[in-house]
């Protein structure tokens, strides 16, 4: 099975994800993590690699904060949309673009990066371990990785409260039970991803959940009518156990030790 390429679906993806409250909440929580935990670890002028960065929502925020960005994605259509929006935002000079698989990046970049971002990619990959191995190679010693992925526990709990009792456990990755093309088909277990990272010699410094409240609201109208307050609460609860572990996505701040 190949990694998912969103050519032909980029516009639909933008509408179904980034054009909704769930996308706005996800972006708000992830940007908060970048602002307070990721960017302060970088030096002035340090380059950032956004691997699988899609339409560049997070990359534009990073670039606007003053950091040059290499935006990578498998989809040419995604990168075209990202380039157009970066140009419209007056950020063209801070961007470079590279189309292709993340697994190929270690052979394509000239130097490792002090900052690497990879959000909502692992769950679309046929071999997430290979993606993590490539990210580790792209990360410079002393560098920091912002990693977010679709959380298996959150996906399972969402199916439970929704009454999708035939779509639990390993069934969530079974082709026969996949119902929505825009929903990731391979949620990952937090403990498994952390184990893979540690096996690569990386250190997990911080964990939080993304959308720990939004998707579980009984009254879905509150997702829009109370969005500002909802985001405040998401930020307040995203690092608290057990809410952290139930988020639809998990965010990890990961570092690569300095070489001795």
Q: Does residue 15 carry a pLDDT above 70?
A: no
CB-based contact 104:73 (threshold 8 Å): no
Select, from the ranges 158-167, 181-190, 193-202, the one with the highest average predicted confidence (pLDDT): 193-202
Give the pLDDT confidence of 81-95 residue by residue, as tens digits.
999 999 999 999 999
pLDDT at 260 over 70: no
Look at 159 and 208; give whichever has higher pLDDT. 208
- pLDDT single digits (tens) 39-60: 999 998 899 999 999 999 999 9
pLDDT at 212 over 50: yes
Average pLDDT, the chain: 91
Helix, strand, or coil here: 159?
Answer: helix
Q: What is the pLDDT of residue 177?
A: 43
pLDDT of 162 reads 85
Question: At residue 100, does pLDDT exceed 80?
Answer: yes
Mean pLDDT of 14-18: 62
pLDDT at 143: 98
Gap between the Cα atoms of 31 and 11, Å rounded = 22
CB-CB neighbours of 81 under 10 Å:
19
Q: Report the chain's terminal Cα–Cα distance, integer Å.
A: 39
Beta carbons of 53 and 74 less than 8 angstroms apart: no
Rounded mean pLDDT of 233-258?
A: 97
More confident residue, 180 or 114: 114
Residue 107, pLDDT > 80, answer yes
pLDDT of residue 180: 46
Model confidence, pTM: 0.92
Quote the pLDDT of residue 93: 97
In order, the DSSP letters of 43-88 are PTT--EEEET-TT-HHHHHHHHTT--EEEEES-HHHHHHHHHHHHH
């Amino acid at each position: 099975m190949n990694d998912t390429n969103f050519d032909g679906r980029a516009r639909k993806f933008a509408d179904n994800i980034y054009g909704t409250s769930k996308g706005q909440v996800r972006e708000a929580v992830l940007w908060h993590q970048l602002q307070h935990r990721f960017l302060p670890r970088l030096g002035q002028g340090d380059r950032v690699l956004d691997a699988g960065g899609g339409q560049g929502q997070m990359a534009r925020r990073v670039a606007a904060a003053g950091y040059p960005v290499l935006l990578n994605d498998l989809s040419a259509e995604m990168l075209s949309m990202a380039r157009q929006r970066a140009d419209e935002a007056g950020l063209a000079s801070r961007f470079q673009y590279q189309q292709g698989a993340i697994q190929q990046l270690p052979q394509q970049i000239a130097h490792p990066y002090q900052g690497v971002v990879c959000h909502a990619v692992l769950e679309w990959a046929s071999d997430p371990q290979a993606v993590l191995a490539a990210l580790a190679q792209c990360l410079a010693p002393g560098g920091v990785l912002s990693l977010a992925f679709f959380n298996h526990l959150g996906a399972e709990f969402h199916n439970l409260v929704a009454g999708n009792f035939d779509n639990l456990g390993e069934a969530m990755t079974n082709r026969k039970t996949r119902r929505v093309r825009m929903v990731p088909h391979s949620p990952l277990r937090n403990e498994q991803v952390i184990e893979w990272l540690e096996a690569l010699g990386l250190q997990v410094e911080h964990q939080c959940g993304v959308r720990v409240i939004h998707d579980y609201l009984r009254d879905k109208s509150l997702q829009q009518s109370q969005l500002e307050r909802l985001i405040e609460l998401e930020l307040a609860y995203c690092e608290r156990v057990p809410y952290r572990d139930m988020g639809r996505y998990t965010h990890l701040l990961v570092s690569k030790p300095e070489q001795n």
